Chain A
Amino acid sequence: MSEIGSLSNGVNPVLLIAVPLGLAFAIPLFNLFWKPAAKYIPLVALAFNLVVSLLLLPKVLENPVIVSIGGLRPPFCINLVAGPVGVLFSAIIALVGLLVSVYALDYIHPVRYSQRIDTKLSNWVGLSNGVKEGPTEKYHMLYLLLLTGATGVVLTGDIFNLFVFFEILCISSYALVAYLRDKAGIESAVKYLIQGAVGSSLLLIGIGLLYGLFGTLNMADIAQNIKSVSPISVFVPMVLIITGLGVEAAIFPLNAWLPDAHSSAPSSISAILSGIAIEVGLYAVVRVIFTIFGASSIFLFLALLGILTLLVGEMCAFSQNNIKRMLAYSSIGQIGLILFALAIANSYGVTGGLFQLVSHTLSKALLFLAVGYMIYRAGSMEISALEGMGRKMPLTCLAFTIGAFSLVGLPPFIGFPSKFLVVRAALATKEAYFCVLIGLALLGTVIEGAYFFRVVQVLYFKEEKPNPGRKDAPIAALIPMFIFVALIVVVGVYPKLVTDVLNSAASEILNRLDYIRNVLG
């Protein structure tokens, strides 16, 4: 499949990376002419990406689009592989990114200045009036870079390229975690940076070893030749890469950066980190294990690791009093469940895992967005400070409640069909090992239910001072939140909207030979 062939079909997947990357670096330029341009550019770029991804989607369901850069055929060039998985992910990234950037229109200015200038958030009145507009182009630029990196990771067919995009993603997220420039933010960004750097080095060493073994960096090419080398010399780069990527994918015990980073970043960034960044990390792990190494022998171990991650995450979330930390730990739990489902490695399992991933992305992004304004209003991240919020910010709390119910897996929200598929996949293996593990996973669900329902009670049913005065989040925040709510409900009621795509994505992940054939022709 040649470059010309893919271009003649109309849209080129390269645009998914080139356009946002170009626009990101153009932000300072535009800023010279028109100050507010910075905050609208991510909007434009991501809307573009969403449209392109959705246009590509029906096409790649039939046949993956392979784009070679530099005029040579794979494996001799850098190439993009826009298969169902890649385009599915890039669509999700663009969708969530777009909605969060709408949210950030009103959110990011006041949040920064109020926290820096006046730590007493409770004095904060009015979302945009009374707050000095400041230069936020760095935020928007980094934000767009982060999402470009994520898109690059999921689309690339070259393992070194994967590393590069991964670094773009990580470095922009280090900076964004520290964006508020408060003590907590900087401290956790440094911790994140240290662990991320260790992970990246391991990843790079692993890639270097692979290059030494095979003399190629093309993933399909490596995959094709993986059996030609002695198992142990493949094993070392494999664990190095898994460990390196596992740091970003938040797999236990490599995820210690996550609760700090996710809770001290601005909420819009937390939504992206929890909803996109760790999922992309997980994608990379899955791509490496399933496609490159075809390492079916470690699936059982991965399933175990997934359950361990899940239980640790849920238990830590259970004992939190800080709402954002609670959500961050809950992300760890969800990642564990996704990893477990993917490691079942049959078509139900992978479909279920991907579905769980989509449902987690939507629900958790929604939760962080809702919480962003709730902690504003409350002036504190303590759960107890949110008492009676249901009357102060009814719509925001409604959005939060729906997100929480969805994560717990209650119908008619999106979390239910995904959990349904995962449990079904585990039982369908009919192996005692998976049945026991899914039992443990469901135990984690009980804990998850306990802490989410507790928060819902605090929002709506705790005693409060009379007549609190109603003041909801601004409209620019409510619109994205309710688009998330609509997606959660609609897909929850009509899962067929996504299952077709997920099914073919699952078969791409499971059939590595098809992948190799598609890329190498």
Chain B
Amino acid sequence: MMSLEILLIIAFGGALLTYLLGKISHKLRDSFAVIISLTLVFIIACLYGKSLEKTFYFGFLGLALVLRLNILSWFFAITIAVVGTLSIIFSLSYIKAREKTDFYFFEMALVNAAMLGIVLAGDLLSFYIFWEIMSWSAFLLISYNKGPALAAGMKYIIMSIVGSIAMLVGMLSLYVSFDTLSISQIASVITSASSGYILFILIAFSIAFGIKNAILPFHTWLPDAHSEAPAPFSAVLSGILIKMGTYGFLLILYVIVGLKLFLGLGSGIFSFHSIFCFLGAVTIIIPTFIAMLQTDAKRLLAWSTVGQAGYIILAIAFGTNLALAGGIFHFFNHALFKALLFLAIGAVEFRTHTRDLDSLGGLAKKMPIVFIATLVGICALIGVPLTNGFVSKWLIYKTLILEGSPFLAFFALVGTWGTILYSYKLVHNVFLGQLPEKYKDLQKSPISMQLPMIVLSLAILLFGILPGIPLKVINAIGISFGFESLNVTLWGITSETGALNTINIFSAVLVAGIIVWILFWIGAKSVSVAQDNSYAAGAYTPKDKYHYTAEFYNPLYRMVKPFLRDVIDEFYYWIASSVRSFADSVRRIYSGDVGYYVMYIILFLALLIFVQLKWKPW
């Protein structure tokens, strides 16, 4: 029997030991880091289905800190542990030649440990403590790449501090009102609170979680941070770290406030619920189109993350059992496929030292595994059947249509359309087309990079063909929130309004594939051309950017670009720069002239006496 505090001790202690071992030998450190993270996966897997609650620390300012495991936190914990482990394995060769590798592994392990702490926290104070540890260690990792990463890190941490302040205020207000911070106790007494107060609490926490989860208008840190962080950490950031916001939303909306109260706030389109859905929908649309404009592969993926997080929020905010299942499943799927895509792009960057979509191309033959992994990843991202992304998106669309929300459904579908465009751009500009001269002798990725990608690709396909495995857990989460149970089978969901059966789809695709293959086999007459053979009618071929991956979707850019200025980001920059210039003028109070300084003292005294004589306030 494994208790939760031992789990956290292993996680945090493992992080520290990893650092110390690095001082002795790098090999030892690497294997230790991997072993520790595999141990965590194993322990969490063993805890499946258990429900534990344990006070692990008395007396932090008179508050008991509680760890708690239920099906919701188990599901998040296992996702964190798996994605974390795979990124650490990927890092082994990715980070090898860099400096401060001990620090890097320490921080990776620390972020993962803190995230485990977040999902296992049974009271808001320990939740907050782990949340902050996660925030600052993520800041250190985002800044790791130096150069432009510094600005990205600053942007991240400032927004993050704003979020945690909002959370602190919300949390302490709950504490002052109910004299407890235990999640289960608050949940049982909050029903007595007025709806205005609940709205205040929800807004405070929504700011915190919205910033982490990158909902519009709090998304601006994400594109910078995700694209500048080291690739394995981008995978963690995008796959699981921002999902702590999702977890937070589930916690505050469904566990603490509860479904009934949450849906009952406000009415019509001005209810909290529908405004939230609307925010989710906007978060799908705008970032998706911005993603199409990107020429930096990781930036493209980062914007895509914002968009996909919009689906999750939309589904969670919608508040029916089918939507919630879709939302949580999409969280899980997104963790897998976005981690996969970031790792794949990281593998490309590792060899080519660039992420510029205009100068890459044709790498499919040089890096077949990476290519296939990316293909699987974007299929899941788009939601192609037989990948897990299909099932979760199917659930979301189905809910939106069934429940009569055509606008939201339209947003979601347009989002998918945009997703197809940028996904295709990504896979095409990196792997298809001509191979630039300079990459002629590119080597394959190291095995420690390929392995995580293979595992993730297989998982995506497995859960696409047999979605019942995770859906069973997700259904249990829904039931714990007080929803009706769904009819989950191993290959989908049966319900009276239309069933999902992935086995049928699988057979259909298999048959169609065989037919196509036979047709091609009969009629095949292909000509093989060297991959770097750019045909220019005998004229001189410029070496750089002269192949057709450059300026992809150019007409579309020109059409949508004027509408897609990131006004919000500009607004934040405006705030930052006005604070800066205001601070500069405040500084002039301290002019350096001691005469003024003495005058301040005398004036202060005179003012106090004057005020008292005149109005007698004191």
**Cα distance A185–B143 in the bound complex, in angstroms:** 36
User: A191 near B133 (CB under 8 angstroms)?
Assistant: no
User: A256 near B150 (CB under 8 angstroms)?
Assistant: no
* Size bracket, chain A contacts: 35 or more
A312: Cβ under 8 A from any B Cβ: yes
Point out the residues of chain A lying under 8 angstroms from B162, CB to CB.
446
Count residues on chain B whose CB falls below 8 Å from chain A CBs: 58
B617: Cβ under 8 A from any A Cβ: yes
User: B150 near A247 (CB under 8 angstroms)?
Assistant: no
B136: Cβ under 8 A from any A Cβ: yes
- Given A235-B612, A297-B618, A411-B132, residue A461 in contact with residue B146 (CB < 8 A): yes
Segment of B71-79, B509-517, B588-596 engaged in the interface with chain A: B588-596
- Given A256-B596, A420-B61, A453-B139, residue A199 in contact with residue B601 (CB < 8 A): yes
User: A457 near B605 (CB under 8 angstroms)?
Assistant: no
B161: Cβ under 8 A from any A Cβ: yes
B173: Cβ under 8 A from any A Cβ: yes
**Cα distance A82–B274 in the bound complex, in angstroms:** 61
Minimum C-beta distance from A231 to chain B (A): 8
**Cα distance A453–B612 in the bound complex, in angstroms:** 43
A236: Cβ under 8 A from any B Cβ: yes
Point out the residues of chain B lying under 8 angstroms from A420, CB to CB.
61, 168, 172
A240: Cβ under 8 A from any B Cβ: yes
User: B589 near A312 (CB under 8 angstroms)?
Assistant: yes
Interface string of B107-142 (1 = CB under 8 A from A): 000000000000000000000110011011001100
Interface string of A295-328 (1 = CB under 8 A from B): 1011001000000000010011011100000000
A229: Cβ under 8 A from any B Cβ: no
Which one of A254, A257, A319, A442 has the greatest number of beta carbons of chain B within 10 Å?
A: A319
B193: Cβ under 8 A from any A Cβ: no
Point out the residues of chain A lying under 8 angstroms from B168, CB to CB.
419-420, 423, 442
User: B600 near A462 (CB under 8 angstroms)?
Assistant: no
Point out the residues of chain A lying under 8 angstroms from B158, CB to CB.
446, 449-450, 453
Residue of A318, A416, A442, A461 near B143 (CB, 8 A) is: A461
Segment of A268-276, A424-432, A477-485 engaged in the interface with chain B: A424-432
User: B173 near A427 (CB under 8 angstroms)?
Assistant: yes
User: B139 near A442 (CB under 8 angstroms)?
Assistant: no
User: A410 near B136 (CB under 8 angstroms)?
Assistant: yes
Point out the residues of chain B lying under 8 angstroms from A416, CB to CB.
129, 132
- Given A301-B618, A405-B136, residue A315 in contact with residue B598 (CB < 8 A): no
Number of interchain pairs (Cβ within 8 Å): 162
Residue of B nearest to A305 (CB): B604
Minimum C-beta distance from A108 to chain B (A): 27
Residue of B nearest to A411 (CB): B129
Residue of B60, B129, B132, B150 near A457 (CB, 8 A) is: B150
**Cα distance A496–B63 in the bound complex, in angstroms:** 11
Point out the residues of chain B lying under 8 angstroms from A428, CB to CB.
176
- Given A194-B598, A243-B608, A253-B604, residue A496 in contact with residue B590 (CB < 8 A): no
**Cα distance A247–B598 in the bound complex, in angstroms:** 10
Point out the residues of chain A lying under 8 angstroms from B617, CB to CB.
297, 301
Interface string of B575-618 (1 = CB under 8 A from A): 00001101110110110101011101111110011001100011
Minimum C-beta distance from B292 to chain A (A): 31
Point out the residues of chain A lying under 8 angstroms from B157, CB to CB.
449, 453
Point out the residues of chain A lying under 8 angstroms from B150, CB to CB.
457, 461-462
User: B583 near A453 (CB under 8 angstroms)?
Assistant: no
Minimum C-beta distance from A23 to chain B (A): 35
B144: Cβ under 8 A from any A Cβ: yes
Point out the residues of chain A lying under 8 angstroms from B62, CB to CB.
499
Point out the residues of chain A lying under 8 angstroms from B154, CB to CB.
450, 453-454, 457
Point out the residues of chain A lying under 8 angstroms from B128, CB to CB.
411
User: B176 near A243 (CB under 8 angstroms)?
Assistant: no
Minimum C-beta distance from B60 to chain A (A): 6
Point out the residues of chain A lying under 8 angstroms from B424, CB to CB.
none
Which secondary structure dominates where chain A touches chain B? helix
- Given A450-B154, A495-B61, residue A243 in contact with residue B605 (CB < 8 A): yes
User: A447 near B579 (CB under 8 angstroms)?
Assistant: yes
**Cα distance A243–B598 in the bound complex, in angstroms:** 12
**Cα distance A423–B135 in the bound complex, in angstroms:** 20
Point out the residues of chain B lying under 8 angstroms from A253, CB to CB.
589, 600-601, 603-604
Interface residues of B in 171-194 (CB under 8 A from A): 172-173, 175-176
Residue of B nearest to A424 (CB): B172
- Given A195-B597, A420-B168, A423-B172, residue A312 in contact with residue B586 (CB < 8 A): yes
**Cα distance A295–B423 in the bound complex, in angstroms:** 68
User: A254 near B586 (CB under 8 angstroms)?
Assistant: no
Residue of A nearest to B617 (CB): A297
B59: Cβ under 8 A from any A Cβ: yes
B432: Cβ under 8 A from any A Cβ: no
Point out the residues of chain B lying under 8 angstroms from A320, CB to CB.
587
User: B618 near A424 (CB under 8 angstroms)?
Assistant: no
B147: Cβ under 8 A from any A Cβ: yes
**Cα distance A199–B601 in the bound complex, in angstroms:** 8
**Cα distance A88–B604 in the bound complex, in angstroms:** 31
Minimum C-beta distance from A203 to chain B (A): 11
B169: Cβ under 8 A from any A Cβ: yes
Residue of A190, A191, A462 near B146 (CB, 8 A) is: A462
A62: Cβ under 8 A from any B Cβ: no
**Cα distance A428–B140 in the bound complex, in angstroms:** 34
Point out the residues of chain A lying under 8 angstroms from B582, CB to CB.
315
- Given A411-B129, A416-B129, A457-B150, residue A427 in contact with residue B169 (CB < 8 A): yes
A460: Cβ under 8 A from any B Cβ: yes
User: A316 near B587 (CB under 8 angstroms)?
Assistant: yes
**Cα distance A454–B129 in the bound complex, in angstroms:** 22
Interface residues of A in 176-218 (CB under 8 A from B): 190-191, 194-195, 198-199, 202
Which one of A312, A315, A417 has the greatest number of beta carbons of chain B within 10 Å?
A: A315
Which one of A253, A416, A454 has the greatest number of beta carbons of chain B within 10 Å?
A: A253
A79: Cβ under 8 A from any B Cβ: no
Minimum C-beta distance from B161 to chain A (A): 4
Q: Apart from A312-B589, A456-B140, list 16 A-B contacts with CB within 8 A.
A: A191-B594, A198-B602, A239-B612, A243-B601, A247-B601, A256-B600, A405-B136, A410-B135, A420-B168, A427-B172, A446-B165, A447-B583, A449-B161, A457-B150, A461-B143, A496-B61
Residues on B lying within 8 angstroms of A by beta carbon are 59-62, 100, 128-129, 132-133, 135-136, 139-140, 143-144, 146-147, 149-150, 153-154, 157-158, 161-162, 165, 168-169, 172-173, 175-176, 579-580, 582-584, 586-587, 589-590, 592, 594, 596-598, 600-605, 608-609, 612-613, 617-618
A-B pairs with beta carbons under 8 Å apart, 24 shown? A194-B598, A235-B609, A235-B612, A243-B601, A253-B589, A256-B596, A316-B583, A318-B580, A417-B60, A420-B61, A423-B172, A424-B175, A427-B169, A427-B173, A438-B169, A446-B162, A457-B154, A461-B144, A461-B146, A463-B147, A494-B59, A494-B60, A499-B61, A499-B62
Q: Which 3 A-B pairs have the closest CB atoms?
A: A315-B583, A256-B597, A253-B600
